[in-house]
Amino acid sequence: FGSIDGDSPAAYRYTEAKLTAVASELLKELRKETVDYRPTYDGTSKEPIVLPARFPQLLVNGGTGIAVGMATSIPPHNLSEVVRACVTLIDKPDSSVRAVMRHVRGPDFPTGGQLVATRDELVKIYETGRGSCKLQGNWRVEEDKGATKIIIYEVPHGIEKSALVEEIGGIVLAKKVPGLVDVQDLSTRDVRIELELKGKNHTEPDLVMAYLLKHTRLQVTVKFDLTVLVPTANPEVGAPARLGLVDILRHFLAFRLETVRRRFEYELRKLLERIHILEGFEIIFDNLDAAIRLIRRSEGKADAAKKLQKKFSLSELQAEAILETKLYRLAKLEILKIREELEAKRKEAKRIQAILKSEAKLWDVVKEELEEVAKEFGNPRRTKISDEDVTEEFSAEAFIPDEDAYVLLTRDGWIKRQRSMNLATTRMRDGDAPLAVVAGSTKESVVVFTTLGSAYNLRINDVPASTGHGSPIQQLFKFKDGERPIAAVGTDPRVMGEFAFPKPELGEEYEEPYPHMLAVTKGGMALRFTLWPHKDISTTRGRMFGRLKKGDEFVAVFKVYADEPVCAVTREGRILCCEAQEVNLLAGPGKGVTLIKLGPGDEVLSAFTADRDVSIEKSTGATQKITAGNRAVTSRGGKGQALLKRGAIKGVVGPELIVPDLAAAAAEEGN
């Protein structure tokens, strides 16, 4: 009911159903006692247990269903192919699945499409009765006045065309495929969905279709679960079983053989009954005058019947038929017709008896009738089968526009993407401040480091674009309770330079200096690590870059060279500067080493490279600029130097954020 566009059917009071010509082949022999009957639900009449189908409609028509503890999913198949497979099994009963599949290549859907599966995959499915494969719509490319158009002319079976067009329309509006600008449904009797590509650098049609196959119902999964009910000793109850293709066909052929046998037995019985009646007529016609005199002298129909039976050795049926005969049939010409009919009936009865005595002849009839059905109703295959899956070549990166962008991450955890960045004018929430600015191509990614030692890698193109405050970073990742971002870096080589994910080669051949990341905790611990483990897009749960002692958290993560001095500032007003190479470089997440020894109640507020200036906010409310480069570089693990004579540090401001200049970076890289 309904249509391929999802139109609902009419109300039940308006719904009509009419059998197609091929459907009549399921009912044609129903009145010839070919199948068993059972009472209907109310017991007022009887219904057939099964239909005397003249072809394997379960395979040809297919079907799906769910019951208690079982389910079935049988896709439709081509009638001509299934009939040829049946003929093969009749001629060679021991044929294998591969032999049968020379004819049945795979499912054949009424809406066409392309089935993606290798022959070995289909053989396994038809051997086990279980499996799945992909079904895709079909398309072609047309050039129209310089414009490139993709024409989808077949959609997968069971998919609403209107819903598919709506899905593609959403992709067009979201501009997820560069150059795909419009979709129109121009279908009439035939499906025609037009996709328009524009622009000099529009995506190749093959890549467009690979994307649509991956992200829309232009490609669906066809499930095979060939669970059927097989005959048992009780004809009214079938036993569920998952069968292969050959077993299903064998069950049908056994059923068909029995159906044909019962049909011939019924026809023979009717023939013999008619022959018996005609033989009575023949006897009477040879003694017609005597029979008429006997009837005229009788006292009624019953008396006449008894006298005819006694006089001419007739049966009750013969006598009844003679007495019911109209007078005009006593004419000489009618008598000749009856004798001709008798001769023809005897000949036909003899032929049927010969067939019933020979199973080989019964099989010949089964085969002949199957071929007749295929000849009358068979159609060429509509669904193509291919072992090439274009979606295997799909790369999400191919559909990301290569554009420069800036990502702003704020101290309160808001993140946004913009085409340009001006920290003085960009919008932020009241009381919030910039934490990091990352620049790079939309194909590159941004790595966000958090207080709990996790690194989250997200493609820049996936950061929500906004001219407002942005989006909470918790919408993009699954942060733990109390987890906050503390730093972010980009992966664009124009900005990162040597830091752009060099593969670590730890060991004797490892040479310093080498660019790394350095992380410092509130408890005075520090560790170095490379970005290599964090080069790929992460899950929403991120990856660990360091481990923490109980109650500790990271306060700073930044880029550093091994021979570069780094500094840490504590709440009690102390600062320690040492070379980064004194901090161990770890191959995996670890707790690191002590960077600065803290006094009771003290904690690290910030850490940075010595070439960057910061400002400290004193507990008295005053601010003081700190030039770290003027501080003595000592060994790690000490208490550091005093920054204040009295009081404590409330907070550290800086180092100042610098917005990367992508154009200048590209020019420098070119030189």
Question: What confidence score (pLDDT) does residue 255 get?
Answer: 96
* Helix (H/G/I), strand (E/B), else coil: 264: helix
Average pLDDT of 599-611? 91
Closest CA to 557 of 549, 568, 572: 568
Question: What confidence score (pLDDT) does residue 291 get?
Answer: 84
Contact indicator for 420, 659 with CB cutoff of 8 Å: no
Question: What confidence score (pLDDT) does residue 114 get?
Answer: 95
Please measure the distance between the N-terminal and C-terminal CA atoms of the chain and give it in whole angstroms.
Answer: 68
Is the alpha carbon torsion for 253, 257, 260, 262 positive or negative? negative
Residues 363-398 have pLDDT tens digits of 999 999 999 999 999 999 999 999 877 665 666 676
Residues 268-326 have pLDDT tens digits of 999 999 999 998 888 888 888 888 888 888 888 888 888 888 888 888 898 888 888 87
Question: What confidence score (pLDDT) does residue 487 get?
Answer: 94
Question: What confidence score (pLDDT) does residue 290 get?
Answer: 87
Which residue is listed with tokens 């279980």?
130
When mean pLDDT is compared across 131-145, 555-569, 617-631, the lowest value belongs to 617-631
pLDDT at 1 over 80: no
The reply to whether CATH 2.120.10.90 applies to domain 400-670 is yes
pLDDT at 511 over 50: no
- Which fold does the domain 251-377 belong to in CATH? Topoisomerase; domain 3 (1.10.268)
C-alpha radius of gyration, the chain, whole number: 44
* Gap between the Cα atoms of 241 and 421, Å rounded: 66
Q: 121 falls in which pLDDT band (50, 70, 90)?
A: very high
Q: 593 falls in which pLDDT band (50, 70, 90)?
A: very high
Beta carbons within 8 Å of 103's beta carbon, 6+ residues apart:
81, 82, 84, 85, 88
Contact indicator for 652, 616 with CB cutoff of 8 Å: yes
pLDDT at 24 over 50: yes
Residues 519-530 have pLDDT tens digits of 999 999 999 998
Contact indicator for 593, 625 with CB cutoff of 8 Å: no
Contact indicator for 224, 132 with CB cutoff of 8 Å: yes
β-strands 641-642, 604-609: how paired? unpaired
* Gap between the Cα atoms of 643 and 624, Å rounded: 10
Contact indicator for 423, 388 with CB cutoff of 8 Å: no
Closest CA to 435 of 665, 656, 611, 649: 656
Beta carbons within 8 Å of 305's beta carbon, 6+ residues apart:
316, 319, 320, 323
Backbone angles phi and psi of 31, in degrees to 5: -90, 5
Question: What confidence score (pLDDT) does residue 664 get?
Answer: 63
**Which stretches of 581-630 are DSSP H helices?**
none
Closest CA to 154 of 99, 209, 225: 209
Q: 201 falls in which pLDDT band (50, 70, 90)?
A: low
Q: 88 falls in which pLDDT band (50, 70, 90)?
A: very high
The token duo for 573 is 């007003």
Question: What confidence score (pLDDT) does residue 333 get?
Answer: 63
Residues 25-54 have pLDDT tens digits of 999 999 999 999 999 989 899 999 999 999
* Gap between the Cα atoms of 458 and 180, Å rounded: 25
Hey, which residues does 66 pair with through a beta bridge? 71
Most confident of 446-450, 492-496, 582-586: 446-450
Question: What confidence score (pLDDT) does residue 62 get?
Answer: 93
* Gap between the Cα atoms of 174 and 165, Å rounded: 14
CATH class (in words) of the domain with range 138-217 = alpha beta
Backbone angles phi and psi of 15, in degrees to 5: -75, 130
Judge whether 138-217 and 251-377 match in fold: no
Average pLDDT of 451-465? 93
* Gap between the Cα atoms of 528 and 586, Å rounded: 6
Q: How many CB atoms lie within 10 A of CB 611?
A: 13
CA dihedral of residues 348, 349, 352, 358 (deg, nearest 10): -130
Residues 463-507 have pLDDT tens digits of 998 889 999 999 999 999 999 999 999 988 888 766 655 555 554
* Gap between the Cα atoms of 257 and 263, Å rounded: 10
* Helix (H/G/I), strand (E/B), else coil: 146: coil
One-letter amino acid of 302: A
The token duo for 471 is 């989006």
pLDDT at 667 over 80: no
Is the alpha carbon torsion for 118, 120, 123, 127 positive or negative? negative
pLDDT at 403 over 80: yes
* Gap between the Cα atoms of 349 and 570, Å rounded: 112
- Domain positions in the chain: 138-217, 251-377, 400-670
Catalytic annotation, residues:
14
Beta carbons within 8 Å of 366's beta carbon, 6+ residues apart:
90, 253, 256, 257, 260
* Gap between the Cα atoms of 279 and 297, Å rounded: 24
pTM strictly above 0.85:
no
* Gap between the Cα atoms of 252 and 372, Å rounded: 17
Q: 129 falls in which pLDDT band (50, 70, 90)?
A: very high
Chain centroid offset of residue 40 CA: 41
β-strands 227-230, 114-116: how paired? unpaired
Q: Which residue has the higher pLDDT, 388 or 160?
A: 160
The token duo for 82 is 């299934």
pLDDT at 8 over 80: no
Backbone angles phi and psi of 77, in degrees to 5: -130, 165
Beta carbons within 8 Å of 369's beta carbon, 6+ residues apart:
54, 260
One-letter amino acid of 453: G
When mean pLDDT is compared across 115-124, 448-457, 466-475, 615-624, the lowest value belongs to 615-624
Eight-state DSSP code of residue 487: E
Contact indicator for 49, 37 with CB cutoff of 8 Å: yes
Question: What confidence score (pLDDT) does residue 665 get?
Answer: 59
Question: What confidence score (pLDDT) does residue 509 get?
Answer: 45
Question: What confidence score (pLDDT) does residue 394 get?
Answer: 60
